[in-house]
Amino acid sequence: MPRYSFKIDPLPPEDGYGWILRYFEDDWEIPGYETFSAHRGISWMIQKEFENAKFTGELWVEEMTSDHLDTVGNQSLYEPGTEQMKLWFE
């Protein structure tokens, strides 16, 4: 069974303030990432975006390791409620 994980890194200064969420399968990075940005100098908002990134990563790992994954093409039981929580890339 594959091992799934995620990593949260600070956004590069040229990209703003906040976090980059990257996904891994068996220690190989999955193409694509998500950004969680906040306004400069608002520390509580930067911390909140970190918590959002962590929660999103945890949901993704849970979804990837759950027993109800259906590889035939049907949707799984979990459907994200917001665009920010969308874990697949189009």
Percent above pLDDT 90 for the chain: 54
70 pLDDT band (50/70/90 cuts)?
low
Asked whether residue 35 is domain-assigned, the answer is yes
Cβ proximity of 36 and 50 under 8 Å: yes
The whole domain housing 33 covers 4-64
In a domain, 75, yes or no: no
Q: Specify if 77 maps to a domain.
A: no
- Is position 16 within any domain? yes
* Residue 33, Ramachandran bin (φ over 0: left; ψ between -120 and 50: alpha; else beta): beta
Give CA–CA dist 25/6, Å, rounded: 9
Q: How many domains does the chain have?
A: 1
For residue 37, list its beta bridge partners: 18
pTM for this model (two decimals): 0.69
pLDDT digits (tens, 9 = 90+) for 2-35: 899 999 999 988 888 999 999 999 999 999 999 9
